[in-house]
Amino acid sequence: MTSFLGRLLTSSALIAAGTSVAHAQMSEDMVRIGVLTDMSGIYSDLAGDGAVEAVRMAVEDFGGEVNGAPIDVVVYDHLNQADVAAAKAREWFDVEGVDMITDLSNSGAALAVAGVAREMERHIIVNGSSNIGITNDVCSPYAVHWAYDAYSLANGTGRAVVEAGGLEWFFLTVDFAFGIGLEEQVTGVVEDAGGEVLGSARHPLGTTDFSSYMLQAQSSGAEIVGIASTGGDAINAINAAAEFGITQDQTLAALLLWLNDIHSIGLEAAGGLQLTNGWYWDMNEESREFANRYFERVGMMPNMSQAGNYSATMHYLKAIETAGTDDPDAVSQAMRSTPISDFFTDDGYIREDGRMMHDMYLWKVKTPEQSEYDWDYLEAVSTIPAEEAFQPLDQSTCYLVTGEEG
């Protein structure tokens, strides 16, 4: 890879030139954004059509073009397979002129595509997966991790449960990069607090029968059963825990619970659960305005990842406008030097490792009696400042931070 510093100087010059060179600097007279997501599998409700619509809303609100070039949105279902995602990313970048890929639900898919983006020097913005490798071992000037990650979840829900006295844990973990990474992060929080992990049971993606895993959780005797999964897996696990009477003697800790999950489970079963999210549709007037427009198109309120796709797409397009070009290095510089202030965050910024820094929030699911209107599901517990929510830079393995490129 050529020197990023050298290209950064060139990028800065392009930005300084501004929009006077705009149209001449746009490759193929088109900006193409790819939404690479789960359209048909277990995470399709969390990402899928909702992610696509959020990106399209951002493009429409931006005006449909940038620096005189039209903006096109293309979509592909990665089927929750890392090799499929990587192959499509390579084709999009190399053949179809895609400038930026977003969403990237499924951590295995996101990590694979991050490697392609680093090699091919093209942009990705990750909203739908949590693995912190995006801003560590596979980081690059072209990868940004936007909405949340495993570290922030562990320092939200995990730490809150530990501080409340839940020191003996057993994990029900989905057996791929997302679940394993989340289990590792929360294990660190538990052990740092003097607690103990008594064991874990790892289940395949898309598990419907949790009976054997529930028996293992019960026999462990752990105070806390950590659900290190999400989407349909988390819903099935929580419902199975209710059927097996787990919550009579043990406490569930859902480490990544989405608004969509709560809607599916219902407040009767989910009420009282704590969760960490970076955004909630009903948190302020700006978020409600976006969410209501989104609801008119999709028929459900957006979750933090879908909202993040809108926010990230707008920031990317603003960076192209600022740079006067879609040159990846110039856009990278503009993205990292421009603060982020919108309905998603009012004081966000992109750190050198690609982590978009913003506050995270601990929420509690309302009971049916507390909910006053449709989709009124969460009440705020506490704010986790960005510098506490995300991995400190001195723990980073990203070569842009350490100066040691692997």
**Angle value at C-alpha 347, between 345 and 348, nearest 5 degrees:** 70
- Among 16-20, 319-323, 372-376, the minimum mean pLDDT is found in 16-20
Distance CA 358, CA 362 (A): 13
Position 130, amino acid: S
- State which H helix or E strand residue 74 sits in: strand 69-77
pLDDT value at residue 11: 45
Model pTM? 0.90
Sign of CA dihedral 43, 49, 52, 53: negative
Question: 164-187 pLDDT, tens per residue?
Answer: 899 999 999 999 888 999 999 999
Distance CA 223, CA 38 (A): 34
Please state the rounded mean pLDDT for residues 346-350.
97
pLDDT value at residue 316: 98
pLDDT value at residue 178: 87
Residue 2 has pLDDT above 70, yes or no: no
Distance CA 77, CA 364 (A): 33
Q: Which residue has the tokens 């949590």?
A: 130
Burial of 395 (C-beta count, 10 Å sphere; 0-12/13-18/19+): exposed
Q: Mean pLDDT over all residues of the chain?
A: 92
Beta strand segments in 258-391, E: 274-277, 349-350, 356-357, 360-365, 378-384
**Angle value at C-alpha 330, between 151 and 98, nearest 5 degrees:** 75
**pLDDT interval class at 269 (50, 70, 90):** confident
pLDDT value at residue 383: 95
Please state the rounded mean pLDDT for residues 312-318.
98
Beta strand pairing status for 31-37 and 69-77? parallel
Burial of 209 (C-beta count, 10 Å sphere; 0-12/13-18/19+): exposed
Distinct helix (H) and strand (E) counts, the chain:
16, 15
Q: Which tokens sit at 328? A: 């990846």
Question: 130-153 pLDDT, tens per residue?
Answer: 999 999 999 999 999 999 999 999
From first CA to last CA, the distance across the chain in angstroms is 11
Domains present along the chain, CATH in parentheses: 4-148+284-355 (3.40.50.2300), 151-277+360-388 (3.40.50.2300)
Question: 70-86 pLDDT, tens per residue?
Answer: 999 999 999 999 999 99
Question: 90-115 pLDDT, tens per residue?
Answer: 999 999 999 999 999 999 999 999 99
pLDDT value at residue 220: 97
DSSP 356-406: EE--EEEEEEPPTTT--STT--EEEEEEE-HHHHS--GGG---HHHHS---
Q: How many CA atoms lie within 13 A of 301 on its CB side?
A: 24
Q: Which tokens sit at 264? A: 């599916």
Nearest to 174 by CA among 129, 153, 204, 199: 204
pLDDT value at residue 406: 58
Of 21 and 346, more confident:
346
